[in-house]
């Protein structure tokens, strides 16, 4: 009985420890990220490059059975970031597309037993997922005058939505959102996360003294982020399910690996930049 009591107490403490480590990582990481966003330029590029390398390392381990061409993936993602920093969306796309050529070259001269289609496809997926997602974050920051505001708004909206969805799902969640992909996510969490995301995006972006976006556009952007961010999370869950892996790592404690932390941001950054571009704000 005593052993069972100790075991049950240890199990009950795990969620608390997980939440505690999440809070510690967030308390340290969020100010650092926002500070580098404020500085912008090569400071933010350096952060994006480091995050990309770590995330792609985790991705390469996640899909190692598919034999991705790791050097080609790193090169394509970093060139996409460099293109975004130096020349905008066109250069970012050009940098990313080099992944295909590098992957074919390395597969041709290498000795991998995987088929070219699978190896190259898994390589291009990693470079596009991480490189283009983080590249769009750099593009958001490069928006004239309002780049810092746009980037911070997207990041804190994703963060707020994630927190609201987590606690709402834990406390009142009953109906599973995607039981085959991520059993822990609920419709209740999605609804509360959506409301939090839209509210934070509106508060962050709408200022009467400037004309960056209108009230309707700030609300619409919040809705775009509220849909894109969970899709990014579910996309990673689908990849992990295919590879039969629970987490991509333990680098960030209760948040999991780097890829676990940025999966929502990658989709949200792409959707946000092209939304703002569509409404003439980027």
The tens digit of pLDDT for each residue in 212-234 reads: 898 999 999 999 999 999 999 99
Q: Which residue has the tokens 């130096």?
A: 86
Token readout for 7 is 């075991």
Q: Bridge partners of 182? A: 178
Nearest to 31 by CA among 181, 198, 150, 159: 159
* Residue 14 predicted with pLDDT over 50: no
Q: pLDDT of 121-176, one tens digit each?
A: 999 999 999 999 999 999 999 999 899 999 999 999 999 999 999 889 889 988 89
* pLDDT for the residue numbered 278: 96
Judgement on whether residues 76 and 156 belong to the same structural domain of the protein = no
Among 142, 165, 196, the domain-final residue is 142
Judgement on whether residues 275 and 151 belong to the same structural domain of the protein = yes
Beta carbons of 214 and 281 less than 8 angstroms apart? no
Judgement on whether residues 138 and 173 belong to the same structural domain of the protein = no
Beta carbons of 147 and 140 less than 8 angstroms apart? yes
14 vs 63 pLDDT, higher one: 63
Judgement on whether residues 257 and 160 belong to the same structural domain of the protein = yes
210 vs 32 pLDDT, higher one: 32
Phi, psi angle pair for 182, to nearest 5°: -145, 90
Over the chain, what is the mean pLDDT? 88
Phi, psi angle pair for 111, to nearest 5°: -125, 25
- Alpha-carbon gap, residue 99 to 90, rounded angstroms: 15
Token readout for 201 is 């995006």
Among 93, 115, 142, the domain-final residue is 142
For the four alpha carbons of 131, 132, 133 and 136, in that order, the dihedral sign comes to: positive
* Residue 46 predicted with pLDDT over 80: yes
Judgement on whether residues 115 and 235 belong to the same structural domain of the protein = no
Judgement on whether residues 152 and 217 belong to the same structural domain of the protein = yes
- Alpha-carbon gap, residue 36 to 184, rounded angstroms: 32
Judgement on whether residues 152 and 255 belong to the same structural domain of the protein = yes
178 lies in a domain? yes
195 lies in a domain? yes
222 vs 257 pLDDT, higher one: 222
pLDDT category at 254 given cuts 50, 70, 90 is low
* Strand stretches in the chain, DSSP E: 176-178, 182-186
Lowest-pLDDT range of 18-32, 107-121, 144-158: 18-32
121 lies in a domain? yes
Judgement on whether residues 239 and 217 belong to the same structural domain of the protein = yes
* pLDDT for the residue numbered 173: 80
Structural domains in the chain (count):
2
107 lies in a domain? yes
Judgement on whether residues 73 and 166 belong to the same structural domain of the protein = no
**What DSSP string runs through 219-231?**
HHHHHHHHHHHHH
36 lies in a domain? no
4 lies in a domain? no
Judgement on whether residues 194 and 83 belong to the same structural domain of the protein = no
Among 111, 142, 173, the domain-final residue is 142
Q: At what angle do helices 147-172 and 2-39 cross, to 10 degrees?
A: 160
* Residue 114 predicted with pLDDT over 70: yes
Lowest-pLDDT range of 2-6, 103-107, 151-155, 250-254: 2-6
Judgement on whether residues 133 and 186 belong to the same structural domain of the protein = no
- Alpha-carbon gap, residue 177 to 247, rounded angstroms: 19
* pLDDT for the residue numbered 15: 44
Judgement on whether residues 79 and 187 belong to the same structural domain of the protein = no
Residue numbers of the domain that contains 127: 42-142
207 lies in a domain? yes
251 lies in a domain? yes
12 vs 274 pLDDT, higher one: 274
């Amino acid at each position: 009985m005593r052993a069972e009591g100790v075991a049950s107490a240890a199990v009950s403490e795990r969620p608390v420890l997980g939440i505690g480590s999440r809070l510690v990582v967030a308390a340290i990481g969020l100010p650092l990220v926002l500070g580098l966003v404020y500085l912008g330029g090569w400071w933010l590029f350096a952060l994006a490059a480091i995050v990309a390398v770590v995330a792609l390392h985790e991705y390469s381990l996640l899909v190692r059975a598919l034999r991705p061409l790791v050097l080609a993936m790193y090169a394509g993602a970093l060139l996409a970031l460099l293109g975004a920093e130096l020349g905008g969306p066109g250069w970012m796309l050009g940098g990313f597309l080099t992944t295909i050529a590098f992957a074919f070259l390395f597969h041709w001269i290498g000795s991998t037993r995987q088929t070219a289609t699978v190896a190259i496809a898994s390589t291009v997926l990693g470079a596009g997922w991480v490189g283009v997602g983080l590249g769009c974050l750099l593009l958001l920051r490069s928006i004239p005058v309002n780049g810092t505001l746009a980037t911070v708004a997207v990041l804190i909206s994703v963060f707020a939505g994630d927190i609201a969805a987590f606690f709402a799902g834990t406390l009142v969640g009953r109906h599973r959102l995607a039981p085959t992909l991520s059993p822990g996510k609920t419709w209740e969490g999605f609804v509360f996360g959506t409301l939090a995301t839209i509210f934070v995006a509106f508060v962050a972006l709408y200022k009467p003294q400037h004309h960056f976006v209108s009230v309707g556009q700030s609300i619409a952007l919040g809705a775009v982020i509220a849909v894109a961010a969970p899709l990014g999370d579910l996309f990673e869950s689908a990849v992990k399910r295919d590879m039969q892996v629970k987490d991509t790592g333990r680098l960030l404690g209760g948040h999991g690996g780097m890829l676990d932390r940025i999966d929502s941001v990658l989709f949200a950054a792409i959707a946000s930049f092209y939304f703002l571009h569509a409404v003439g704000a980027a």
